[in-house]
Amino acid sequence: METKKKSGFTGSIGFVLAAAGSAVGVGNIWRFPYLAARDGGGLFLLIYLILVLTFGFTLLTTDIALGRKTGKNAWQAFSSINEKWGFIGKLTFLVPVLIMTYYSVIGGWVLKYATVYVTGKGNSAAEDTFFTSFITSKVSPIVFMLIFLVVTAFVVYKGIEEGVERFSKIVMPGLLIMVVGIAIYSLTLSYTDAEGTTRTGLQGLSVYLIPDFEGLTFSKLMGIVLDAMSQLFFSLSVSMGIMITYGSYVKKEVNLSKSIAQIEWFDTGVAFLAGIMIIPAIYVFTGIDGMASGPSLMFVSLPKVFSSMGMAGNIIGIVFFVMILFAALTSCVSIMETLVANCTQIFNISRKKMSIIIGVFSVVTAMIICKGYNVFYFEYELPNGSTGQLLDIMDYISNSFLMPLISFLTSIFVGWIIKPKWIIEEMETGNAKFTKKKLYAFMIRYVVPLIMAILFLQSTGLLNKIIG
Ligand code: PHE
């Protein structure tokens, strides 16, 4: 009997690089270093590492094993195990839908900056108004977003082996070399400012690595843990169905424990190196107060730092933005792949047709997000107190609200309904060793549900109401 060959990753390297490609994204570069700088340097690093090895490990294992065992995408994976709990799959599917609307917009911004540096105009990017006037302009952000989306859709259109895997195998090693290169360069920097103070890259490194316990209180410590936790979700691309989809493409011979550990280390390693790359550079030229959060770190502060570097700055600028472009592309590919994979299963349409349909959907929604900075501009106060536009609202709903909720529900489902053994069996397929099974079972049953419930309440603003 002839069986139809299911397309998937050729082996464990392809899988690890594609999953790492999803995990390593703008979050590693614009968010991690900023949080580390703000949250006590080495203290944040230590907390983050502990969370990766406990929560990160548990959630990543759950997603990937769910995908491989069922061979399905989030939409159907949960309902194929238990009809009543199928709603978690539908909820999970919502996350990539929401993230897709804005991720390509940010990808377009990165592409714009890469183009500016490649064409030797890096100094103009260092001007105060450059970023704002770019994102509020009517046409340019849409054009760059479109180019970014076409490349993403093309990779997805080509399929898993020919597209996603091959692309990740080229891009991810390149990205790693670039991060290491700039990190080393950053450590060699030294600058004397107008007042005659000299700051060096190595001093900057110590700001990053040495734990700062000054003024540390319990509530501050909890704040750091919460920051690290939400960063971890976003960074590992867990609880959004992406790793379920990628898991469904993994062959049974692949040792999942090993691959999962490699993905965790790749993602955490790049985030750590991004800190070595960015914190000393900012420290040397502007002092640590110049460390901004979010997009303005990447698009406003760093171009200023590059321009202070003189000639070398333009070259570093090119390498830096090309590197982020790689990181953003592989992440966006994973989001679109998840949407396409889910929809082909739901509607029974071919991958190629679905890639085009999802491509068009993504263009339309991304255009609306781009317009959020001009035609549809408004300011909205989010439950966490910050104000945001369309893009920030999408980001808030998907990352701060849905992700803890989904992790909470998934951990109840796995820990108490189907029981951890269901996952452990998959991890031990083909006599593979799953040495951390006790840790896994404990985390998924007790720790994850408790902490996710707290995170969820916090994101809705309810926690503050409850504890006054
Ligand atoms: N994990 C990616 C990052 O760190 C972001 C991402 C989110 C990727 C959602 C895919 C899906 O930036």
| 176-193 residue pLDDT tens | 999 999 999 999 999 998
CA distances (Å), origin 66, targets 63, 181, 248? 5, 37, 8
**Ligand 1 contacts CB of residue 152 (under 6 A):** no
Q: Residue 377 Cα, ligand 1 centroid: separation in angstroms?
A: 25
Average pLDDT, integer, range 213-237: 87
- Which pLDDT band holds residue 273 (cuts at 50, 70, 90)? very high
Q: 337 or 38: which carries more pLDDT confidence?
A: 337
pTM above 0.75, yes or no: yes
Amino acid, single-letter form, for residue 70: T
Q: Which of 179, 234, 298, 329 has most ligand 1 atoms within 8 Å of its beta carbon, as the pocket-test mutant?
A: 234
**Ligand 1 contacts CB of residue 28 (under 6 A):** yes
Report the nearest-CA residue for atom 8 of ligand 1.
331
**Ligand 1 contacts CB of residue 26 (under 6 A):** yes
**Ligand 1 contacts CB of residue 16 (under 6 A):** no
Residue 2, pLDDT above cutoff 60: no
Q: Residue 96 Cα, ligand 1 centroid: separation in angstroms?
A: 10
Distance CA 152, CA 162 (A): 13
Give which of 211, 144, 185 is closest to 305, Cα–Cα. 185
Average pLDDT, integer, range 204-217: 90
Residue 160, pLDDT above cutoff 50: yes
**Ligand 1 contacts CB of residue 242 (under 6 A):** yes
**Ligand 1 contacts CB of residue 259 (under 6 A):** no
**Ligand 1 contacts CB of residue 231 (under 6 A):** no
Average pLDDT, integer, range 253-281: 96
Report the nearest-CA residue for atom 9 of ligand 1.
237
Write down the mean pLDDT value for the chain.
Answer: 91
Distance CA 265, CA 180 (A): 15
| 284-336 residue pLDDT tens | 998 877 777 777 888 988 999 999 888 899 999 999 999 999 999 999 999 99
